[in-house]
Each structure stands twice: as structure tokens, then as C-alpha cells.
């Protein structure tokens, strides 16, 4: 379960001081678990005996809570405000050297260090040591003298504060997007010509638009694009046969500046065709090498749901899964079922294939499948549904049978659908709108900044306990 603050991130935009004073979404707090994991990684790094420049991320291994916290903080820097204040580092019990190493190790999990001066230094102490130099384009970290405005030659600058400055310590920062907007207003002739000739559209490929997850993700994308002054061009598969046509580059060339593909892992041939467009590709719902991907850990989601049930004493647990064999190459059901089986095995329960019920990620098919399943004499004490919509169908079928939830059968869903809170459904929550916003921000960044670095961003899940699960 996620133990750190979930923020509502937006796309990159021009920000001003008054924005930061009104909104605290750029301020995050490390959980106790994340701090523990960071300190464990610190001890591991110290034990290696390696020099800093010899280290890799494997020498500072961040576990789940710490990795999620750092990844989310990094995501914030790439979205709304371009900065994130991450509070809670235990600097009061670290030595200065330990603090430096921890700072370095966390950086290894984010990117590659860049030198910031002619001396090729990669880590500098920011403190007043009496320097008083003032030269043109001067740079320095050990003075309280005012320095000329400058930009850093890297994507992210990380600062770790060890103590409050006695005096001074002021840095003036500005939004790069605000600068670009001002240049556009005063000197539009300085804007590169290729930026003018862009379509200013982002394409979105999705198999459905009416199902909750896809609708929420598309809504998040559309919001971010609208705020960026860009348009969304939707390619929806009304027919399965349309997949072949849409994934052909001829249908897309010259129409969009970037593509976002939702929950449809392309084949090698399809992905090669998309790459031939020469535009950025971002995926939602699955990880694909060669592009930026925003996804959840479906296996972990299956674990979280099933562990909640086993912790309540349940051992006879059925699973209501989505169809596996579809033209869309969905692997969600397989992954969530994998996590479910892993937890069953961990408590000494052998998976019973007869306890798998096949739906199709919607209320209607789930209700029909559950009605057929309830005809058997021996029923499970709990059911893990691969989506909230299927859980709604299961709830209806169970109650039509005259059974009570959770007294007779506990139900847990997956998604945290808008209706889940109204029916009291326990569920594993994911934020598809947030995933859409992050994907849109990544696509916009690649289009506007012509970056080629690809990242796999795992969005955290959380367990939401309501009234449909109970102890036995």
C-alpha cells in the first residue's frame, strides 16, 4: 500500500511565485518505510567500499517505498512546477559524509551525474566560506556574493539541505516556460521555425473510450494537452480489424507530433512501424522498451488484493478475471492472476483453476459469469475481481442469489472506480487520470525539448478498505 502523499500533477506550464504559495502539491514527505529503505541502501553502498564514480544504481539499491517516493518526486519535476521539495531525510543523524553519499546514491537511481564546473566536480557543498569574487558569468558555491543568472547543464538539479542557513542562502529561480512565453511575445522571430510547423497535436491510440480506465486516462491526457495549448487526436478501435490500419504509419504520418498508446502492447512489427514515424511514443498501462512508459505493477496489485483477503483469514479465494486472449494483447489479467497465485502459495494454498471465473472487464459479462459460478455447491469465502466494474456485476449476482456481502462472501475490486465509494467496495486503487497526465507531460516534453531519454515510470497503487471485505 502506498504510504506517501499522492499529488495531482499537471503538465509543464509557466509558474509564478504566487502559484507556489497557493498550492503545496510540490511538497512531498518521505514515509517511515522510505526513510528506512534509504538508510539500508546507504549502509549497502558504504559496505561496497567503491569510489563514487565507480558506483551504479545497484550499489545503492532502493526498495519499493523509497523507489516510489523518489520516482514520484522526479515526476513532479517533469510536470507542473518543475521542482519538488522532498522532506523527511534524517540528516540530523547522518554524518556529512553519509549525507553526501546518500545524496549521490539517490541521484544514481534517477539519472547520470553531470559536472558543473571546469574542475569537473560532481558534488559541491553550498556554504559561505568567505569567497567574495564577482566576475562575469561567475559561478560558485562557497560565497554569499550575488552571482549572475545561469542555467545548469542537466535535466534535474538536486539539493540536500543539512541545516538552515544563518544568513543569505537565497536562490532566484524562474520558469523556463515563462521565459519562452515572454520570448514569443517580444521576439517571436527567435522561435525556431520547426516549432512553428508542428501539428500541435498528440495522437492517442486506445481500444475503448467508454470503459472507466480508458475514459479517465484520456481525460487526464486531454486536460494536460488543453492547458498546453495542444489538441488530442483519438484513434479508437471500433472494430478489431482497425488495429492493422491504425498501427500502419501511413495512417499517422504528418498528423500528430507524438503518440500515446493505451493498454495495447504492440507487436515488434507494429512498434517498428510506429518508430518509423520519427515521433515520440509514450505508453500507458504497460512497459515497452524504446519509449517512455507509464504503468502500474499489475502483479503487485494482485498481491495487494489477495494479501488483504488472506490477512482476513480467507483461504478459499476465487478470482474473477478478464479475458486473456484478445486481439488487443492485454496482459493485465495474467499479471494480476500471477500476483494472486503467489500470495495463495505463500500461505500454503494451492491454486484451484476451478476458482477462476472469466469475465470481460465489464459489469454485464461479470454478472453472467458470476451467476453461472454461483450454481456450484461449494463456494469460496472471498472473490478477487480484476476490475471494479466486474466487482459491481459480481455484487449484483451474489445478492440476487440471496447471499450477503461480506457476511457470506467478501469482494475486493481493482481500480477505485468513481462508483466504488458509493457501493462500499474494497479495492486496489490506481489513478488512470494521473497516468494520463504524466504520459501527456512526457510526450509534450519530448516534442518541445526534443529529448530522447526514455523512462519507465511505475505509478504507485494503494489499498482502499471499505465494507465488502471482512474477517472470517
DSSP string for residues in 35-98: HHHHHHHHHHHHHH---GGG--GGGS---HHHHHHHHHHHHHHTSSSS--EEE---TTTS-HHH
Handedness of CA 391, 393, 394, 396 (dihedral sign): positive
Question: What grid cell was written down for 10?
Answer: 499537471
Comparing 31 with 152, the larger pLDDT belongs to: 31
Q: What was the pLDDT predicted at 59?
A: 95
Q: What was the pLDDT predicted at 9?
A: 40
Q: How many CA atoms lie within 13 A of 199 on its CB side?
A: 15
Main-chain phi, psi angles of 331, to 5 degrees:
-120, 10
Q: How many CA atoms lie within 13 A of 361 on its CB side?
A: 20
Comparing 50 with 266, the larger pLDDT belongs to: 50
State how far the Cα of 127 lies from the Cα of 60, in Å rounded to an integer: 27
Q: Nearest Cα to 156, choosing from 224, 73, 51?
A: 73
Q: Read off the pLDDT of each residue in 267-290 and give the average, rounded to a whole number.
A: 85
Chain centre distance of CA 203: 20
Three-class SS state of 223: helix
Q: What was the pLDDT predicted at 248?
A: 60
Q: What was the pLDDT predicted at 209?
A: 86
Q: What was the pLDDT predicted at 251?
A: 65
Lowest mean pLDDT among 45-49, 105-109, 251-255: 251-255
Main-chain phi, psi angles of 257, to 5 degrees:
-90, -20
Classify domain 298-429 at the CATH topology level: Rossmann fold (3.40.50)
Residue 29: pLDDT over 60: yes
Highest mean pLDDT among 151-155, 164-168, 200-204, 445-449: 200-204
Q: What was the pLDDT predicted at 3?
A: 27
Q: What was the pLDDT predicted at 182?
A: 79
Comparing 397 with 195, the larger pLDDT belongs to: 397
Comparing 71 with 190, the larger pLDDT belongs to: 71
CA distance readout (Å), 33 to 4, 7, 155, 272: 9, 19, 28, 41
- What rounded mean pLDDT belongs to the chain? 85
Q: What was the pLDDT predicted at 189?
A: 65
Is residue 116 within 8 Å of residue 147, measured between CB atoms? no
Residue 7: pLDDT over 60: no
**pTM of the full structure:** 0.59
CA distance readout (Å), 271 to 54, 201, 212, 285: 35, 20, 26, 16
Query: pLDDT tens-digit profile of 51-78?
Result: 988 899 999 999 999 999 998 888 878 7
Q: What was the pLDDT predicted at 290?
A: 82
Q: Where are the domains of the chain?
A: 17-177, 199-295, 298-429
Q: What was the pLDDT predicted at 105?
A: 94
Query: pLDDT tens-digit profile of 290-333?
Result: 899 999 999 999 999 999 999 999 999 999 998 765 555 678 99
The CATH code of the domain at 199-295 is 3.40.50.2300
Residue 239: pLDDT over 60: no
Q: What was the pLDDT predicted at 46?
A: 95
State how far the Cα of 145 lies from the Cα of 168, in Å rounded to an integer: 9
Query: pLDDT tens-digit profile of 140-172?
Result: 667 777 766 667 667 788 889 888 877 766 777
120: pLDDT confidence band, cut at 50, 70 and 90? low
Q: Nearest Cα to 109, choosing from 439, 435, 450, 455?
A: 455
Q: Which segments within 179-332 are labelled E, that is strand?
A: 201-206, 231-236, 258-262, 281-284, 292-295, 317-321
- Could you say which DSSP state residue 140 is in? -
What percent of the chain is modeled with pLDDT above 90?
A: 53
Is residue 413 within 8 Å of residue 366, measured between CB atoms? no
Residue 122: pLDDT over 80: no
Is residue 325 within 8 Å of residue 358, measured between CB atoms? no
Q: What was the pLDDT predicted at 420?
A: 96
Question: What grid cell was written down for 81?
Answer: 512546477
Residue 1: pLDDT over 50: no
Query: pLDDT tens-digit profile of 322-380?
Result: 876 555 567 899 999 999 999 999 999 999 999 999 988 899 999 999 999 999 989 99
Q: What was the pLDDT predicted at 116?
A: 65
Instruction: Render 313-356 in DSSP notation, one character per residue.
Output: T--SEEEEE--SS-TT---HHHHHHHHHHHHHHHTT----GGGE
Q: What was the pLDDT predicted at 127?
A: 76
Question: What grid cell was written down for 338?
Answer: 500471477
Amino acid at each position: 500500500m502506498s504510504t506517501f502523499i499522492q499529488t495531482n500533477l499537471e503538465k509543464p506550464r509557466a509558474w509564478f511565485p504566487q502559484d507556489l504559495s497557493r498550492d503545496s502539491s510540490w511538497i512531498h514527505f518521505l514515509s517511515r518505510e522510505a526513510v528506512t529503505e534509504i538508510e539500508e541502501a546507504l549502509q549497502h553502498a558504504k559496505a561496497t567500499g567503491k569510489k563514487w564514480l565507480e558506483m551504479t544504481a545497484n550499489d545503492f539499491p532502493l526498495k519499493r517505498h523509497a523507489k516510489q517516493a523518489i520516482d514520484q518526486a522526479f515526476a513532479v519535476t517533469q510536470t507542473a512546477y518543475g521542482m519538488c521539495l522532498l522532506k523527511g531525510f534524517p540528516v540530523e543523524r547522518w554524518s556529512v559524509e553519509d549525507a553526501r553519499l546518500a545524496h549521490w546514491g539517490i541521484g544514481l537511481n534517477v539519472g547520470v551525474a553531470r559536472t558543473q564546473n571546469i574542475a569537473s566536480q560532481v558534488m559541491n557543498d553550498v556554504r559561505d566560506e568567505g569567497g567574495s569574487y564577482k566576475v562575469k558569468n561567475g559561478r560558485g558555491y562557497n560565497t554569499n556574493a550575488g552571482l549572475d543568472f545561469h542555467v545548469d547543464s542537466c535535466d534535474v538539479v538536486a539539493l540536500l539541505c543539512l541545516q538552515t542557513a544563518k544568513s543569505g542562502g537565497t536562490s532566484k529561480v524562474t520558469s523556463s516556460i515563462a521565459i519562452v512565453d515572454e520570448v514569443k511575445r517580444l521576439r517571436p522571430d527567435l522561435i525556431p521555425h520547426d516549432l512553428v510547423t508542428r501539428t500541435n497535436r498528440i495522437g492517442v491510440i486506445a481500444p475503448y473510450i467508454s470503459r472507466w480506465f480508458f475514459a479517465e486516462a484520456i481525460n487526464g491526457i486531454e486536460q494536460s494537452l488543453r492547458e498546453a495549448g495542444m489538441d488530442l487526436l483519438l484513434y479508437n478501435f471500433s472494430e478489431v480489424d482497425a488495429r492493422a490500419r491504425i498501427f500502419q504509419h501511413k495512417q499517422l504520418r504528418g498528423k500528430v507530433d507524438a503518440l500515446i498508446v493505451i493498454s495495447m502492447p504492440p507487436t515488434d512489427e507494429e512498434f517498428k512501424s510506429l518508430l518509423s514515424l520519427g515521433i515520440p511514443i509514450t505508453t500507458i498501462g504497460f512497459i515497452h522498451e524504446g519509449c517512455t512508459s507509464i504503468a502500474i505493477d499489475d502483479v503487485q496489485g494482485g498481491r495487494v488484493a489477495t494479501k488483504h483477503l488472506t490477512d482476513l483469514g480467507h483461504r478459499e479465494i476465487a478470482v474473477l478475471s478478464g479475458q486473456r486472449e484478445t486481439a488487443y494483447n492485454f496482459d493485465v489479467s495474467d499479471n494480476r492472476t500471477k500476483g494472486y497465485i503467489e500470495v495463495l502459495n505463500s500461505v500454503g494454498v494451492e491454486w484451484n483453476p476451478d476458482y477462476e471465473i472469466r469475465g470481460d472487464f465489464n459489469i454485464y459479462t461479470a454478472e453472467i459469469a458470476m451467476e453461472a459460478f454461483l450454481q456450484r455447491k461449494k463456494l469460496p469465502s472471498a472473490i478477487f475481481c480484476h476490475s471494479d466494474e466486474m466487482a459491481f456485476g459480481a455484487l449484483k449476482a451474489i445478492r440476487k442469489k440471496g447471499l450477503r456481502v461480506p457476511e457470506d462472501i467478501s469482494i475486493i475490486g481493482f481500480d477505485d472506480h468513481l462508483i466504488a465509494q458509493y457501493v462500499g467496495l474494497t479495492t486496489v486503487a490506481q489513478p488512470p487520470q494521473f497516468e494520463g497526465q504524466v504520459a501527456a507531460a512526457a510526450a509534450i516534453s519530448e516534442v518541445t525539448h526534443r529529448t530522447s531519454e526514455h523512462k519507465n515510470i511505475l505509478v504507485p497503487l494503494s489499498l482502499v478498505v471499505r465494507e465488502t471485505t471482512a474477517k472470517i
